[in-house]
Structure 1
Amino acid sequence: MTKLVSVVVPVYNEKDNVVLLSQTLRDTFAVLPYRYNTIFVDDGSTDGTADVIRRLAAENKHVRYISFSRNFGHQAALKAGLDMADGDCVISMDGDMQHPPELIPVMLQKWEEGYDVVYTLRREDENLSYFKRTTSNAFYSMLNRLSDITIEKGAADFRLLNRNVVEVVRNFQESDLFFRGLVKWSGFKQLGIEYDPAKRNSGVSKYTFKKMMRFALQGITSFSTKPLYAAIYLGFVFSLLALLYIPYVLYSYWMGHVISGWASIIVTIAFFGGMQLMILGIIGLYLGKLFMQSKKRPIYIVKESNIS
């Protein structure tokens, strides 16, 4: 039987892009020897995106959809699509047309060559602002320094996963999902290919600076406890500085340059402040792990779907 390819597309307020993307995917697969379906995951859109997708599903048998009860975030929408996908391989891509569908045949070719994961690396866009390019590079540099995995600069959520990898990913129950790291962490035979991002067809980017910062912190904390260790080290530093401060206090006392009560207060505050930070870091190391595992809320809530 002809192999089935599922294309998962998380969307949020992309009503002007989903029709074009659906048509482009249909044209792409028309010349490929594969069956396919497209799973649009509406992440609580407020601009009528869900209605457009619903009409597409009624007109096109290849279109499926999942609609959330509210906005749960891009990574949760991606998880929902992977949970529902039934293809022999699953391709995830954004709905803003910046991930070129023309790259899909290349990804499928690499998949047929035996790769379980074919991920994409976005070439640096010179049209982006200096600030955005700098912060993006800083994010990947910091993530690789603070975690036990290595993610190449420009890694995107435009990737192909073999069925065995999808089954592994479906079992992840983390509340703070970071698929760029999770897929890399899972292992398997992986290959990265570069691409030039296309211009957004319509609308504006949904990743504000605040969301990008949150995404960065989410990625770092999902794969590293080093920030907590940093708090411990910082506590040791302050404690050491307090100890080194004692000779100066004694010198000031004997030379008569000390203000009454000042020395003892400063030394006490600095020493115990450092100790408290160190202890809080140790407690946070364990409490953070327990806290992330103890919450058993669903990652997303499906309001409507045409997938049985």
Structure 2
Amino acid sequence: MNLVSIVVPCFNEQESLPHFYESVTEIIAPLSQYHWEILFIDDGSRDKTLSIIRDLADKDDRISFVSLSRNFGKENAMLAGFDYVKGDCMVLMDADLQDPPSLIPDMLKYWEEGYDDVYAKRRDRGKESWLRRKLSLLFYWLLDKSTRFDVLKNVGDFRLLDHRCIEALRHLRERERYTKGLFSWIGYRKKEILFDRQDRQYGSTHWNFFQLAGLAIEGLTSFTTAPLRWATYSGILIGFAAMCYLIWTLIKVSIWGDPVAGFPTLICVIVFLGGIQLFSIGVLGEYLGKVFNESKHRPVYLVQEYHCGNKDKLK
């Protein structure tokens, strides 16, 4: 019998966890042809999340958990899941029930057919603002246009991964991670499942606008050097435009004797060029910061506590 692991990164999910556990166990109960592991990754929660996970593990030997020493971020918590998971395949999902556990049987069906990565694509993004939806689509478009591999649009972390994908992701140890891009980068045989994303029913989201913007910058700078190229192209274009404007000004003064309105023009040009220079320096800083962080070779995460469930079934 194959072992299927469900990996759940958690951060302050005390309100969602009991409902999540009830929903998942109800779905997997009829699937007796598999052994099951439910692996929770507690990413330094400050509420009762870890206590609830311990209580669930006491009554259900299918539950394992890893508690990190502090909040390392969801991307690094997912890496901990790849490192500690025991299954022949794993289902990665959030605890907030926006990813419906009812898709797990369909994912397993396609896995049995030979697919290595069965990902859930959002047909509807659920309750979110118009601005956030448009910015998300813009980010996916930019990432897709600036990379050499296909980027899956409207696809989150909810997916089933074969052990070959898991092993590949374990070897990718960079600290500055954008796992959604890594799923596409590793390749393997993929299958799409469409679903309507549900609204969060319990608790509140931990992602604000600035955190999402930071994740978008992380994604762009982790998988492409296109922003550096954009800065180069901007410099060439602005330099060419400035030269054309200078030639036009000299011709106008020489032929028609038109006086140059110096101060407003000078201020506009200085401010514009200063903005472009700051943008270019910022792009360089992003890449240098990544090099600096990677050069320190610190561990991506630290584990405070690990509990393994039924060891007879876990390989």
For normalisation by structure 2, the TM-score amounts to 0.86
Name the counterpart of 1:306.
307
Question: Once the 2 structures are TM-superposed, how far is the Cα of residue 72 of structure 1 from its aligned partner?
Answer: 1.3
- Corresponding residue SS for 1:14: coil
Alignment of 1:215-226 (within 5 A): 215-226=215-226
Alignment of 1:228-307 (within 5 A): 228-251=228-251, 254=254, 287=288, 290-291=291-292, 293-307=294-308
Q: Is the 8 A contact 1:239 1:274 kept in 2?
A: no
RMSD: 3.2
Q: 1:156 to 1:230 in 2, by over 3 A?
A: same
1:161 aligns with 2:150: no
Q: Give distance in 2, aligned partners of 1:119 and 1:136.
A: 18
The percentage of aligned residue pairs carrying the same residue is 38
Alignment-mate amino acid for residue 157 of structure 2: D
Structure 1: gaps spanning 5 or more residues: none
Q: How many residues align?
A: 307
Q: Is the 8 A contact 1:120 1:155 kept in 2?
A: yes
Name the counterpart of 2:101.
101
For normalisation by structure 1, the TM-score amounts to 0.87
- Corresponding residue SS for 2:133: helix
Q: Give distance in 1, aligned partners of 2:206 and 2:4.
A: 27
Question: Once the 2 structures are TM-superposed, how far is the Cα of residue 298 of structure 1 from its aligned partner?
Answer: 1.7
Q: 1:55 to 1:183 in 2, by over 3 A?
A: same
1:17-75 C-alpha deviation (Å, 9 max, x unpaired) = 11222232222222111001111111111111111111111221111111122211111
Q: Give distance in 2, aligned partners of 1:187 and 1:235.
A: 35
Q: Is the 8 A contact 2:67 2:303 kept in 1?
A: yes
Q: 1:147 to 1:246 in 2, by over 3 A?
A: same
Alignment of 1:6-17 (within 5 A): 6-17=5-16
Q: Is the 8 A contact 2:115 2:189 kept in 1?
A: yes
Alignment-mate amino acid for residue 27 of structure 2: T
Alignment of 1:1-308 (within 5 A): 2-32=1-31, 33-125=33-125, 127-251=127-251, 254=254, 287=288, 290-291=291-292, 293-307=294-308
Question: Once the 2 structures are TM-superposed, how far is the Cα of residue 87 of structure 1 from its aligned partner?
Answer: 0.4
Q: Give distance in 2, aligned partners of 1:67 and 1:175.
A: 19
Alignment-mate amino acid for residue 298 of structure 1: P
Q: Is the 8 A contact 1:119 1:159 kept in 2?
A: yes
Question: Once the 2 structures are TM-superposed, how far is the Cα of residue 288 of structure 1 from its aligned partner?
Answer: 6.3
Moved more, 79-88 or 229-238: 229-238
Question: Once the 2 structures are TM-superposed, how far is the Cα of residue 131 of structure 1 from its aligned partner?
Answer: 2.3
Alignment-mate amino acid for residue 297 of structure 1: R
1:218-244 C-alpha deviation (Å, 9 max, x unpaired) = 111111110111111111122222322
Q: Give distance in 2, aligned partners of 1:230 and 1:196.
A: 36
Question: Once the 2 structures are TM-superposed, how far is the Cα of residue 153 of structure 1 from its aligned partner?
Answer: 2.6
1:115-143 C-alpha deviation (Å, 9 max, x unpaired) = 01111101124654322322222222222
Structure 2: gaps spanning 5 or more residues: 310-315
Q: 1:170 to 1:250 in 2, by over 3 A?
A: same
- Corresponding residue SS for 2:124: coil
Moved more, 153-162 or 235-244: 235-244
Q: Give distance in 2, aligned partners of 1:141 and 1:282.
A: 19
- Corresponding residue SS for 1:58: helix
Q: Is the 8 A contact 1:232 1:278 kept in 2?
A: no
- Corresponding residue SS for 1:246: helix
Alignment-mate amino acid for residue 212 of structure 1: L
1:185-229 C-alpha deviation (Å, 9 max, x unpaired) = 101111111112233231111111111111111111111110111
Q: Is the 8 A contact 1:229 1:285 kept in 2?
A: no
Alignment-mate amino acid for residue 6 of structure 1: S
